């Protein structure tokens, strides 16, 4: 009889393999095709595809466990995985605006070949659309279908994507905004390799340019007047929980290295490991406190969502802000106490520091979380 290996165990095993490649990908900025192939072969790129389509059918609790484990190995790969999990969770919701046939096809391709999908929303002039404004990317009518023209930046996973869920406005007299599904093999689409950032260097978050790209009528997923869009508690919770798990994974990798360093480092003036000194014991203990709080916050948020009770968006934002700031504090404390060794490129801690700081860039950002909460409290 074959005994199935639990998914978290598979993820931890894969994370160890992926971690061995992470430094090389970080140095070159190359896209992690090998690591994504490992995730595909393990079925993790179909983790949140429904079981009826052959996928894993995972909820948010399981998805955060997997993303956190992979984030411990290589957060750039984990970020691509988290976007894949998020999009399939959205696509296959019972109240999804996606045409069922289109949603099923995308899900089946993820199962069969690990086909990647991500939302492309950010633009050079607009920035993140979550702060308001109309996108410059335009969908114009072309017979029964559409033609899309524009540019998206910070398009995570671009070199490996099979589909982009592209945020557009229509060219109608009263413009609508929403999403269209664009296959990445469509004529007129090209990737400009612009991504050269401090952290998550292997995430392939390049520019994607659309020049009169044809889109079938059924790929216009949800177009509405701009004032009809409202924050979606379910989507916000999934996004915040997955990002929190990812960056918590980075902090745990940093803590692992810090512990080993303190055990092995024996200064000649001390004649004993640094781990024997109370100030280092206290630092490790404070990091453990933050990581324990992180674990409970992520698990609590994910459990609420899986139980059908997502919190209001600002509270999901509280979790993302608290967990990621805790993760940053863990890595910064380790780097500070390790001195030059912590910032040496021969050690992974400096990479963990660069990667974890990217947590502050993902929506919702700290100012938006606090401002939304303040407005809600003051208007109550």
pLDDT tens track for 168-185: 999 999 999 999 999 999
Whether the per-residue pLDDT at 294 is higher than 60: the answer is yes
pLDDT band at 378 (very low <50, low <70, confident <90, very high): very high
- CA–CA gap between residue 278 and residue 260 (Å, rounded): 16
Do residues 193 and 217 both lie within one domain? yes
CA angle 105, 120, 303 (to 5 degrees): 70
What pLDDT, on a 0 to 100 scale, did the predictor assign at position 149?
98
DSSP state of 269: T
Asked if 238 and 375 sit in the same domain, the reply is yes
The answer as to whether 223 is a domain residue is yes
Q: Give me the mean pLDDT over the 349-372 stretch.
A: 96
Q: What is the pLDDT of residue 199?
A: 98
Please give the helix or strand (H or E) that residue 365 lies within, else none: none
CATH of the domain at 60: 1.10.540.10
Same domain, 157 and 178: yes
Indicate if the pLDDT at residue 347 is higher than 60: yes
Backbone angles phi, psi at 129, to 5 degrees: -70, -15
Confidence class of residue 235 from pLDDT cuts 50, 70 and 90? very high
* 228, 261, 286 - which closes a domain: 228
CATH number of the domain that residue 140 is part of: 2.40.110.10
State whether 273 and 142 are in the same domain.
no
Provide the domain limits for residue 210. Answer: 119-228
pLDDT beyond 90 at 231: no
Q: Are residues 11 and 107 in the same domain?
A: yes
The total of structural domains in the chain comes to: 3
Average pLDDT over residues 45-72: 97
pLDDT at 6: 60
The tens digit of pLDDT for each residue in 81-101 reads: 999 999 999 999 988 889 989
**Residue 2 — very low, low, confident or very high, per pLDDT cuts 50/70/90?**
very low
Work out the average pLDDT over 198-212. 98
Q: Give the length of the chain.
A: 380
Asked if pLDDT for residue 64 goes beyond 60, the answer is yes
DSSP 1: -
H helix and E strand count, the chain: 11, 8
Is 139 inside a domain boundary?
yes
Last residue of a domain, one of 90, 114, 138: 114
Q: Do the bridges between strand 116-120 and strand 161-170 make them parallel or antiparallel, or are there none, so unpaired?
A: parallel
**Is residue 1 a part of any domain in this protein?**
no
Exposed/middle/buried for residue 265 (C-beta within 10 Å: 0-12, 13-18, 19+): middle
pLDDT at 4: 47
Distance CA 150, CA 137 (A): 4
Phi, psi of 191 (to 5 degrees): -110, 125
**Is there a single domain that holds both residue 106 and residue 152?**
no
Judge if 197 and 324 occupy the same domain.
no
Based on the domain organization, do 68 and 129 belong to the same domain? Answer: no
Instruction: Say how far apart CA 376 and CA 169 lie, in whole Å.
Output: 29
Which of 114, 140, 175 is a domain's end point? Answer: 114
Handedness of CA 85, 236, 301, 77 (dihedral sign): positive
Same domain, 196 and 265: no
- Contacts by 331-336 with C-beta closer than 8 Å and gap 24+? 331/250, 331/251, 331/254, 331/356, 333/283, 333/286, 333/287, 334/254, 334/255, 334/257, 334/258, 334/283, 334/287
Task: Record the pTM.
Answer: 0.95
* Locus of tokens 């303040």: 374
Give the list of residues 6+ apart from residue 149 with CB closer than 8 angstroms, or none: 137, 138, 140, 210, 211, 212, 213
Q: Name the pLDDT band for 336 (thresholds 50, 70, 90).
A: very high
Q: Does pLDDT of 3 surpass 60?
A: no
| Mean per-residue pLDDT of the chain | 95
pLDDT at 58 over 70: yes
Q: Report whether pLDDT(1) > 80.
A: no
Name the phi and psi angles at 363, rounded to 5: -70, 140
Q: Are residues 253 and 207 in the same domain?
A: no
Whether 316 and 352 share a structural domain:
yes
Q: Examine the domain organization and report whether 204 and 253 are in the same domain.
A: no
Q: Cα–Cα distance between 76 and 71 in angstroms, integer?
A: 8
The CATH number covering residue 373 comes to 1.20.140.10
Give domain status of residue 70, yes or no.
yes
CA dist., res. 197 & res. 33, Å (int)? 19
- pLDDT (tens digit per residue) in 133-176: 889 999 999 999 999 999 999 999 999 999 999 999 999 999 99
The whole-number average pLDDT for the span 295-314 is 97
47 and 37 in contact (C-beta within 8 Å)? no
2 is a domain residue: no
């Amino acid at each position: 009889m074959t005994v199935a290996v639990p998914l978290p165990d598979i993820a931890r095993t894969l994370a160890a393999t992926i971690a061995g490649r992470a430094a090389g990908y970080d140095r070159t900025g190359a896209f992690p095709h090998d690591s994504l192939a490992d995730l595909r072969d393990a079925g993790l790129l179909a983790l949140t595809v429904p079981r009826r389509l052959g996928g894993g059918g995972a909820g948010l609790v399981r998805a955060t466990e997997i993303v956190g484990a992979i984030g411990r190995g290589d957060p750039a790969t984990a970020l691509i995985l988290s976007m894949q999990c998020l999009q399939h969770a959205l696509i296959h919701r019972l109240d999804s605006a996606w045409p069922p046939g289109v949603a099923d096809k995308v899900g089946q391709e993820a199962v069969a070949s690990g086909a990647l999908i991500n939302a492309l929303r950010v633009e050079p002039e607009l920035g993140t659309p979550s702060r308001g404004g109309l996108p410059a990317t335009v969908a114009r009518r072309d017979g029964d279908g559409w033609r899309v023209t524009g540019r998206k930046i910070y398009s995570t996973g671009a070199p490996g994507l099979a589909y982009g869920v592209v945020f557009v406005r229509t060219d109608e007299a009263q413009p609508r905004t929403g999403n269209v599904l664009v296959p990445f093999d469509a004529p007129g689409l090209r990737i400009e390799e612009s991504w050269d950032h401090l952290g998550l260097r292997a995430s392939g978050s390049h520019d994607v340019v659309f020049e009169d790209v044809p889109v079938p009528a059924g790929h216009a997923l949800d177009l509405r007047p701009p004032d009809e869009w409202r924050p979606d508690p379910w989507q916000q919770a999934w996004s915040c929980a997955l990002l929190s798990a990812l960056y918590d994974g980075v902090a745990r990798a940093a803590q692992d290295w810090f512990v080993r360093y303190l055990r092995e480092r024996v200064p000649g003036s001390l004649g004993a490991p640094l781990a024997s000194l109370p100030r280092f014991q206290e630092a490790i203990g404070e990091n453990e406190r933050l990581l324990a709080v992180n674990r409970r916050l992520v698990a609590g948020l994910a459990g609420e969502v899986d139980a059908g009770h997502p919190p209001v968006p600002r509270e999901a934002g509280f979790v993302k802000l608290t967990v990621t700031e805790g993760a940053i504090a863990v890595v910064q404390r380790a780097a500070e106490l390790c001195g030059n060794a912590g910032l040496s490129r021969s050690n992974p801690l400096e990479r963990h520091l660069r990667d974890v700081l990217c947590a502050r860039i993902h929506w919702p950002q700290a100012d938006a979380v606090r401002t939304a909460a303040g407005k809600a409290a003051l208007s109550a």
